[in-house]
Structure formats: structure tokens, C-alpha cells
Amino acid sequence: MSLVGRPLVGLLAILLAGSSIDVVFRLLPRRLLARWPLRAVFGLAALYVAAALPWFGVGLALVGAVLRVHAHRRASPQVHLPGPPRTGAPSAARAPRIDRGAVRLAAAIVAAIAVVVSWRTWLPLYWDEFVWLAKARIEADHPFGLVGEVLHANTSAIPVGYPPLEPLSVAALAGWSSDRTTLVAGTVLLQIVIASSFVLLAVDRTRPDERRSLALGMALGTAPLVLLHLRSAYVDLETGLLAGTLLLLLELGLGRAAALVAIVLVGMKDEGTVHLVAVTSAVVFLSLLRRKPSSARNAFAAAVTGLVPFALWHERLARAGIVRTDHALGGLAYGRLPTLGRMAFAHAIELLSWGPLWAVVVGMIVAAALRPRAFGRSAQLRLFVVVAQVVVFAFGLLATNGRVMEFAQGGTLVGRLLVELAPVVMLAVTAAT
């Protein structure tokens, strides 16, 4: 009973919180296929601010209420659902009802994701799975106690100072049961929620006649190593999927939903902030260049909404006297660049882990640099976001202390960063084919 019942209660609680936010602030249009998994993501945002940054949550709710009243007085915002298919069939944006074929497709996608994710050993197997689930176990034993624990100087919840949302989410989705198998069930639910949000939103954003391209992009991006991460408690793929979800929401013009996803992104992992900066700055830059001020505004608002909890969390760490060693910033060490470049190359050509993914991506970027007009606007934006992610990550790696280079040399860094890039790469490939 515990294996099914507790996670079900946890999922319903998260969905209830997220649905309340959606209903009160009217964040998502009804016909969005990704509505339900996105509501669960909003529930995770609520969990994070409730557990770690309650005053930020109160402030955000007030700002949301003001925006809601303001929006009520004006015409409802436009949602940029995909235009008509090239065959000339009716537009999804104008369609009065949800396309039944799309609903069947969505159900099949979620079922497929659920099968792949849950078809794993119901036991942590890899190093960081144990580490993340150890924190989740502490949270499960002491509901809403993990944040206090990680802000404690002599904590056993190590490594110290990491954003706590992943273990909080796993414990909540496990119904706060500290049983090993139930915690894995929490992990499985979290992966299903985040992966479904991303994939269904990608379907929402894709014209029916482009779904073959989407399937190809997904197949290419689901490289063997990505598949292993999908079936694990690692946070790298989740972070990348959330970055992809953020990009898709910004493309769809759903700025306030994007802002909530930004909170989840920075709450999951430090790298989430890197993705947030890369995605939003790329969108702001290209939107201004294309004279689309509303898109730039949405991206800027999402960046600010994500960066405030990031800053507040670090302020809490500083006040608690927690010294972060893993990702501490220092000066830019340009001397690392050749070593990092060699490592990135060695990982990217590892065909057993990646298949042809990175070779194709490099080829696409070269082609886009040589002939930008060979790509549509969406493909240009997505490729630009991929490049922005790589550049911001490179600066991040040059600016962090020597500990990060130890991780890189131990083989635990570059491959995982590539896993984080894979979801946006899937979107770029989809738009380019």
C-alpha cells in the first residue's frame, strides 16, 4: 500500500497546490496539453518557497494578485500556439476544442515516459542517487525539516548548501515516506512530471505536420546516457528539461508560467541558474533584435523571478555561516580553457554515450553560422540558446574554484553538463528539420 498510496497522496497534494495557483492566477490556457504536468511543476515551486523562502512566496503571491487584477482589466494576453500546418488545416490557436488526436498523442507520450522511467531498478544504484535520496530521506523523516538541517553548520545532509528542491520534491512525491522503494517511487514521479511537461509542451508548440521532426529530435536527443539519467534520481536531466520547458513557455508567450518554472529551475540545482541566465538572455537579445518587446519583457521577468530566490537562498546560507566549497566563485582562470575544451571534445565523441548527437549539433551550428537563412526563426532562436548555454557554462567553469576542475578530471562534470544541454538541443533539432 505504501508504495502506491503514499506517492499518490504526495502527487495529489502537489497537483492541488499547483492547480490552485493556476486557477487563481490564470497562468495556463485550457487547451494546453501540458497543463496538468505543468500544474505539478507549479506545485513544486510552491513547495520550494513554502519550505525555504516563505516571505518570497508571500511577496510573489501579492505581485501575482496585482498582475491578475491588471490583466483582468486589459484584454487577455495572447498565447502564441503554433500557426496552421503547411497543408492549410485550421490553426490550433483558432480551434475551438482540443484536437483529439493531440490528446491521444499526449496520453501515449506520458504512458511511454512512465514506462521508460519506471522500468528501472527500484533501488538507487549510482553515487549521486544515494546522495540526493539521503537528503530526501531526512526530509521524509522530518517533514519540512530538510531546509533547517542543510542550514545547520554540522549537518549530515552533505554536500552542504546545494539548493534543496530536488530532495524536497522527492520526499513530497513519496508522501513523506522514508522507505527506500517509496523514495524511488517519488523520484520516478518527479521524472515523469518534469519530462511530461517538457515533451507535451513541445507537442503544443509543434504544428501537426512537424511532429515527425519532433519525434526525430527527441530520438536523437534521447542518447543512451540521457536514457540512463531519465531512469535515475540524478538532477542533471531534470535541470535541462526545465530549461527546455522555460524556453518553450517563453516561445508560447506564457510569461508568468515561465516565471514559476524559473523558480523550480534555480531550486533544483546551481546549474539551473546558469540555464536561466542563458535562456532568458538569449531570448531577450533576439526578441529585441526582432522588435518583439513583449517576449523580451516575459524573459526578463522570468529571469528576475528566478534570480531573486537564488539570491535569497545564498543570503540564507551566508547568514547560517555555511561555506560552499563545490561551486564557489573566484576570478576567471582562462588557463583552464584548453583542458576543458579537450575534456568536452573527449566526452562529445564518446559514441556509446551520445550516439551522433553532438556531431550533428556541431554541424548544425556551423551551418547556421555559414547560412543563417537556411534555418527558420524558431531554429535560429533555439540554436542561439544552445550556444548561450555553452558560453555561460564555459564562463561559469572558468570562474569557479579548483574544486570544479577536480570534478571535471574525475569524470563527473562534463558528461553531466552535456546531459543538461540535451533537451534544448532536442528542440533545436526539431525546429531545424
Partner 1 sequence: MSQAELCSGSRESLVIHGANSVCGPPPAPWWWTNAAISVFLAMASAFVFASPRARHLRRRFLSFVLVVSLPGLAAALFFRADGFGRRRETSRRIASLETSMHAFALAHGCAVVTKNDCLACEPIARFATAHAGTCTSRASIELGRTALDGTCAEIGSTLRCGAP
Grid coordinates belonging to 83: 500557426
Does 134 bind partner 1 (CB under 8 A)? Our answer is yes
3-state helix, strand, coil in the chain (%, to 5): 75, 0, 25
**Helix (H, G, I), strand (E, B), or coil: what is residue 400?**
strand
In the complex, minimum distance from the CB of residue 164 to partner 1, in angstroms, rounded to a whole number:
13
Residue whose CB is less far from partner 1, 157 or 260: 157
Does 359 bind partner 1 (CB under 8 A)? Our answer is yes
Stretch that binds partner 1, among 17-25, 123-131, 185-193, 288-296 (CB under 8 A): 123-131
Grid coordinates belonging to 121: 531498478
Stretch that binds partner 1, among 1-9, 110-118, 253-261, 350-358 (CB under 8 A): 350-358
Does 129 bind partner 1 (CB under 8 A)? Our answer is yes
Amino acid at 347: H
Q: Site for partner 1 (CB under 8 A): which residue of 194, 220, 276, 431? A: 220
Residue whose CB is less far from partner 1, 228 or 308: 228
Does 351 bind partner 1 (CB under 8 A)? Our answer is yes
Residue whose CB is less far from partner 1, 39 or 347: 347
Residue whose CB is less far from partner 1, 41 or 220: 220
Does 408 bind partner 1 (CB under 8 A)? Our answer is no
Does 126 bind partner 1 (CB under 8 A)? Our answer is yes
In the complex, minimum distance from the CB of residue 263 to partner 1, in angstroms, rounded to a whole number:
25
> Can you name the residues that pair with 329 across neighbouring β-strands?
400
Considering only residues 48 to 87 of the shown chain, the ones binding partner 1 according to CB under 8 A are none
Grid coordinates belonging to 251: 516561445
Backbone φ, ψ for residue 145 (5° rounding): -105, -10
Does 356 bind partner 1 (CB under 8 A)? Our answer is yes
DSSP symbol at 374? G
Whole-angstrom distance, CA of residue 304 vs CA of residue 293? 16
Whole-angstrom distance, CA of residue 215 vs CA of residue 420? 19
Considering only residues 222 to 251 of the shown chain, the ones binding partner 1 according to CB under 8 A are 223-225, 227-229, 232, 234
Does 370 bind partner 1 (CB under 8 A)? Our answer is yes
Whole-angstrom distance, CA of residue 373 vs CA of residue 175? 51
Considering only residues 135 to 194 of the shown chain, the ones binding partner 1 according to CB under 8 A are 135, 137-138, 141-142, 145, 149, 152, 154, 156-158, 180
> Can you name the residues that pair with 400 across neighbouring β-strands?
329
Q: How many CA atoms lie within 13 A of 345 on its CB side?
A: 6
Q: Site for partner 1 (CB under 8 A): which residue of 125, 289, 304, 337? A: 125
Does 288 bind partner 1 (CB under 8 A)? Our answer is no
Q: Site for partner 1 (CB under 8 A): which residue of 51, 60, 133, 264? A: 133
In the complex, minimum distance from the CB of residue 393 to partner 1, in angstroms, rounded to a whole number:
17
Q: Site for partner 1 (CB under 8 A): which residue of 12, 79, 98, 360? A: 360
Whole-angstrom distance, CA of residue 426 vs CA of residue 357? 9
| 231 Cβ contact partners less than 8 Å away, ≥ 6 residues apart | 116, 117, 119, 120, 191
> To 10 degrees, what angle do helices 236-252 and 377-399 make?
140
| 42 Cβ contact partners less than 8 Å away, ≥ 6 residues apart | 17, 18, 19, 21, 22, 27, 257, 260
Q: Site for partner 1 (CB under 8 A): which residue of 219, 288, 289, 304? A: 219
Whole-angstrom distance, CA of residue 293 vs CA of residue 284? 8
Grid coordinates belonging to 75: 484584454
Whole-angstrom distance, CA of residue 194 vs CA of residue 190? 6
Residue whose CB is less far from partner 1, 128 or 326: 128
Considering only residues 246 to 275 of the shown chain, the ones binding partner 1 according to CB under 8 A are none
The beta-strand segments (E) located in 21-106 are: none
Residue whose CB is less far from partner 1, 133 or 424: 133
